[in-house]
Amino acid sequence: MRRRNGYLFLKGIVFIQLFLLTVVLGLTVDLNGGFLNSWSKARPLNLLQPLGIININEDQAEQLVQENSLLLTGSAGLIKQLGWVDLSSDNMAQNMIGSQIQVLAYTGLQEKSQEYGNEDPSKTEANNPVSQDFGRDGIETADPVDTTIFNGKTICLYCTHSAETYIPDSGQARVDGQRGLINSVAQKIEQELKAKGIDAQYINTIHDFPDYNSSYTNSRATVKKLLQDNNNIMALLDIHRDSIPGASTAPTIEIKGKKSARILIVVGTDERKPHPNWKKNFRFAQNLYVQGEKMYPGLIKGITTKAGTYNQEFHSSALLLEFGSDYNTLEEANYAARLFTEVLIQVLKEDF
């Protein structure tokens, strides 16, 4: 009797285990079926929808940024983690997450296009922001711009480090007391903007001579006078070129069969002194980067922040732009300037 009871007990345990296994398998099949059905409806391309449907609140965005993000950068040693940045106001973190998702979405669309053997969507006529019209440089020109939306507003350009130049053309990196070739790049942007019917003003004042250390003090006076004389400035751009210690060559990127210098955007912060506009400047930089990736991927190599204000505290759309480095050629830098002008116009159009 005792042996029979033990047998029944073991038999009962086996049946219970089989029952539980059956239930688990049933649930698994059901869940997998539901998941697969849902996935078939939400194909990968459908996941890359406009950001308006992505629901990320500020707290979630702030946590994501602080835990996972690095500021975009193009120069070694300038990467700075965002832990010190105050992301609590003006939905800063949400905007940062949003811009990064846009970049990822664009990249995903390119990869998906290649996967299906289709042409890169950025190169198709329907999606290409440029027409098939060839301009004076032998490259495609941008579609006509409705300049009336800018209501007579202007873009101002200047060079704090006026002596900066390009070694392949000048034989040296600086021509102290003179206007280096970086001024030609600033002029190129001015000319391109005017050619598209947008008011632009390049200030050719030499700021870094006779005292190089007073460069930003001198350019600050230029900025203040510009803003005093004109309250219709929609962007204020300080044009530079980078210099990488120890380098004897400069990176380029081929765009439409032609070599271009790459651009680094520098944003000053409020780490050293009050700078109420720095987050607005940073958003402006983000918008340029995202638009640049859509139009000319790789043209803008990144965004970096520095503790100085670089006279950006006087305007909400003020940036320091580095067009290549000292080993780029003027031709490469001027081509970057032309392409950047098209990106800039697209970004400004969205603000009006």
User: Is 131 domain-assigned?
Assistant: no
User: Is 129 domain-assigned?
Assistant: no
Residues 268 and 335 in one domain: yes
**Does the pLDDT of residue 3 top 60, yes or no?**
no
Please report, to the nearest 10 degrees, the dihedral formed by the alpha carbons of residues 268, 259, 159, 169 taken in order: 140
Residue whose tokens read 């053309």 = 169
Q: Whose CA is closest to 179, among 220, 264, 239?
A: 239
**Which pTM does this prediction carry?**
0.63
Residues contacting residue 91 through CB under 8 Å, at least 6 positions apart:
58, 61
pLDDT at residue 337 in the model: 98
Domain containing residue 16:
2-42
- The arithmetic mean of pLDDT across residues 167-174, rounded, is 98
Residues 65 and 163 in one domain: no
Residues 159 and 297 in one domain: yes
Q: Which letter does DSSP use for residue 259 in this model?
A: E
Asked if 207 and 161 count as a contact pair (C-beta separation under 8 A), the reply is: yes
The answer to which of 6-10, 82-86, 116-120, 211-215 has the lowest mean pLDDT is 116-120
pLDDT at residue 149 in the model: 83
Residues 246 and 103 in one domain: no
Banded model confidence at residue 148, pLDDT cuts 50, 70, 90: confident
Residues 10 and 108 in one domain: no
Residues 230 and 211 in one domain: yes
Most confident of 63-72, 88-97, 110-119, 307-316: 307-316
Residues 30 and 75 in one domain: no
